[in-house]
Structure 1
Amino acid sequence: MVRKILVAYDGSELSKKAIEEAKIQAKTVKDAKIYVVTVVTLGISSNTTAVAGNLSMKDAEILYPRLENIKEELQASGQIVETEIITDFSQKNPAVALCDFAEENDINMIIVGHRGLSNLQKLFLGSVSGTIVQRAKCQVLIIK
Structure 2
Amino acid sequence: MFKRILVAVDRSELSEGVFQGALQVAKAMQAEMMILHVLSQEEPGAPEPPMILGMDYSSALSAELWQSYREQCAIFEQNQMNYLRSLVEKATEEGVRAECNLSYGSPGRVICDLARSWKADLIVVGRRGYSGLSELFLGSVSNYVLHRAPCSVLTIQGETLKKGSQPQANQVAAPPS
The aligned counterpart of 2:125 is 112
* TM-score when normalising by structure 2: 0.67
The aligned counterpart of 1:25 is 25
Instruction: Report the Cα distance in structure 2 between the residues aligned to 1:63 and 1:26, rounded to whole angstroms.
Output: 23
Preserved contact between residue 7 and residue 22 of structure 1 (Cα < 8 Å)? yes
SS of alignment partner, residue 17 of structure 2: helix
The aligned counterpart of 2:88 is 71
Q: Which amino acid aligns with 2:11?
A: G
Backbone CA RMSD of aligned residues: 2.1
The aligned counterpart of 1:143 is 156
Instruction: Report the Cα distance in structure 1 between the residues aligned to 2:46 and 2:150, rounded to whole angstroms.
Output: 24
Instruction: Report the Cα distance in structure 1 between the residues aligned to 2:150 and 2:21, rounded to whole angstroms.
Output: 20
SS of alignment partner, residue 4 of structure 2: strand
Q: Which amino acid aligns with 2:117?
A: E
What's the % identity of the aligned pairs? Answer: 33
Preserved contact between residue 71 and residue 82 of structure 1 (Cα < 8 Å)? yes
Q: Which amino acid aligns with 2:77?
A: A
Alpha-carbon shift at residue 59 of structure 1 (Å): 4.1
1:49 matched to 2:43? The reply is: yes
The aligned counterpart of 1:39 is 38
Which is strand-richer, 1 or 2? 1
Instruction: Report the Cα distance in structure 1 between the residues aligned to 2:35 and 2:46, rounded to whole angstroms.
Output: 15
Structure 1 unaligned spans of 5+: none
The aligned counterpart of 1:122 is 135
Alpha-carbon shift at residue 62 of structure 1 (Å): 2.3
Kindly name which structure, 1 or 2, has the bigger radius of gyration based on alpha carbons: 2
Instruction: Report the Cα distance in structure 1 between the residues aligned to 2:135 and 2:46, rounded to whole angstroms.
Output: 17
SS of alignment partner, residue 119 of structure 2: coil
Alpha-carbon shift at residue 84 of structure 1 (Å): 0.7
Instruction: Report the Cα distance in structure 2 between the residues aligned to 1:127 and 1:8, rounded to whole angstroms.
Output: 13
* TM superposition outliers: structure 1 runs of 4+ over 2 Å: 54-62
1:9 matched to 2:9? The reply is: yes
Match of residue 60, structure 1, among 44, 56, 77: 77
Preserved contact between residue 39 and residue 55 of structure 1 (Cα < 8 Å)? no
Preserved contact between residue 7 and residue 124 of structure 2 (Cα < 8 Å)? yes
Alpha-carbon shift at residue 126 of structure 1 (Å): 2.0
Q: Which amino acid aligns with 1:37?
A: L
